[in-house]
Amino acid sequence: MISSLRGMNDILEEDYERFTYFINTATKIAQNYGFHFIQTPLLEETALFKRSVGESSDIVSKEMYQFIDKGENDVCLRPEGTAGVVRAFIQKKLDKAGGIHRFFYHGAMFRYERPQKGRLRQFHQFGVESFGVESVYEDATMIMMVADILSACGIGYRLQLNSLGDLNCMPLYRENLINFVKNIEDKICEDCVRRVATNPIRVLDCKNPTCQELYKNAPKLINNLCSGCKDDFDTLKKILDKNGISYEINTNLVRGLDYYSKTAFEFVSDEIGSQSAIAGGGRYDRLIEFLDGRPTPAVGFAMGIERLMELIQMPDSKREGYYMGAMDEEAVDLVMSLAQKKRKIDKTTIDYKAKNLKNHLKGADKVNARFCCVIGTNEMENQTIWIKNLENKTEQTLSIEEF
């Protein structure tokens, strides 16, 4: 038997219902916020992710599905969604057009990781990107949109907030932190030594208690923001307060992708194990120019759909459509053609086998139909059809023309 590749799941039946329900709910909300759908390819030039996500990041350095295609192009399956959207934005010259452009997307992403709960090799994200808005109000809007989507799906969460600073304050802070850590390099864990070289700010959320103790006196970015970043961060907090969004400041919150600056946020759930981040995002004002576009402020987020799946509260399914069956072998053809007509206007399922009424009612109940429609010998004689509404239990007999 051939089975699916490791970390790659089929989505069907109940899972598909939940998946679709989430996409539909999130789509509606994104549209209410004035965002438009964008679809970009699953396959992109590898250089796109090296330059955006960052070569030092784990995603690019060891998790990409990368290969040389038949035209000898270095390509890879997208490991995240933002880079492709930004590439499309620049390629369509929307950066030069100016103005505000707001997009949402959803689709499969690929990372060659070791799978566990809430972490797959092919997984799905719903994401949003906004281009051309410098105001921190847009950052707040992003956060409120995530909150809306999660609430609409009945999902509980905690919101964590941080500011990563910008070109004025981040590099300076980074140097300070590196110096601080270098001084105690012989005492910190192996992972942290590696982090200093790759993504120094990551050392701050090391889980090793010894390291945590040592970092207590480390400089904090939140206290070293330049005035512009500090003002924006204060404004953001004020907006969230006014709109009843509660949050916690997590000075150790770092986005794993290189392109983020200023606002960084993460929505976490305490109910799905260690892969607890269900949505994450922030501002990335520098990314468009990294990818050769005209400098354009941008902010966005992404949600991991598989991680949300088991948290989604689905509304009770309602009875819908028709179930049709024959109680007499000779009525089957008539049922078939009536059902074909009904299908033009509503969901209709047929049982091809002649059965007694009780079995048809059972069948109708099983497919959750609203109406059970049956033709037996009596109905054949009178050219009628018997219909029972399974919700309010009322019954009627209609002529075949009326049906």
Q: Please report, as ranges, the residues that interact with RNA according to CB under 7 A.
A: 6-7, 57-59, 63, 80, 111, 113-120, 123, 125, 191, 195, 199, 202, 206-208, 254-257, 266, 273-280, 302-304, 306-307, 319, 327, 353, 355-359, 361-362, 364-366, 374, 376-379, 386, 388, 390-391, 393, 395
The residue (of 42 and 357) whose beta carbon lies closer to RNA is 357
User: Could you tell me if 312 and 18 are in contact, meaning their C-beta atoms sit under 8 angstroms apart?
Assistant: yes
The residue (of 52 and 296) whose beta carbon lies closer to RNA is 52
CB atoms within 10 A of CB 136: 23
Both tokens of 293, joined, read: 């576009």
Phi, psi of 234 (to 5 degrees): -65, -40
Q: How far is the CB of 40 from RNA (least distance, A)?
A: 16
Q: How far is the CB of 388 from RNA (least distance, A)?
A: 6
Task: List alpha helices for 261-331, DSSP H.
Answer: 287-290, 305-309
Q: How far is the CB of 131 from RNA (least distance, A)?
A: 18
Q: How far is the CB of 22 from RNA (least distance, A)?
A: 13
DSSP code of residue 264: E
Both tokens of 324, joined, read: 């049709």
| Vertex 144 angle, CA 102 and 52, to 5° | 50
The residue (of 229 and 385) whose beta carbon lies closer to RNA is 385
Q: How far is the CB of 70 from RNA (least distance, A)?
A: 26
Strands lying side by side in the sheet with 248-249: 36-37, 101-110, 122-131, 298-304, 277-283, 261-268, 158-163, 248-249
Q: How far is the CB of 305 from RNA (least distance, A)?
A: 7
Burial 318-349 (b: 16+ CB within 10 A, else e): eeebbbbbbbbeebbebbeebbeebeeeeebb
Q: How far is the CB of 64 from RNA (least distance, A)?
A: 12
Q: How far is the CB of 288 from RNA (least distance, A)?
A: 18
Both tokens of 54, joined, read: 């960052």
The residue (of 9 and 46) whose beta carbon lies closer to RNA is 9
The residue (of 57 and 263) whose beta carbon lies closer to RNA is 57
Q: How far is the CB of 300 from RNA (least distance, A)?
A: 10
Q: How far is the CB of 164 from RNA (least distance, A)?
A: 13
User: Could you tell me if 29 and 133 are in contact, meaning their C-beta atoms sit under 8 angstroms apart?
Assistant: no
Q: H-helix or E-strand containing 340? A: helix 332-342
Amino acid at the residue 90: I
Of 146, 86, 81, nearest to 111 by C-alpha is: 81
What is the radius of gyration, based on Cα positions, of the chain? Answer: 28
Q: What dihedral angle (degrees, nearest 10) is formed by the CA atoms of 216, 222, 223, 225?
A: 140
The residue (of 304 and 321) whose beta carbon lies closer to RNA is 304
The residue (of 102 and 388) whose beta carbon lies closer to RNA is 388
The residue (of 102 and 307) whose beta carbon lies closer to RNA is 307
User: Could you tell me if 403 and 373 are in contact, meaning their C-beta atoms sit under 8 angstroms apart?
Assistant: yes
User: Could you tell me if 280 and 308 are in contact, meaning their C-beta atoms sit under 8 angstroms apart?
Assistant: no
The residue (of 231 and 391) whose beta carbon lies closer to RNA is 391
The residue (of 221 and 327) whose beta carbon lies closer to RNA is 327
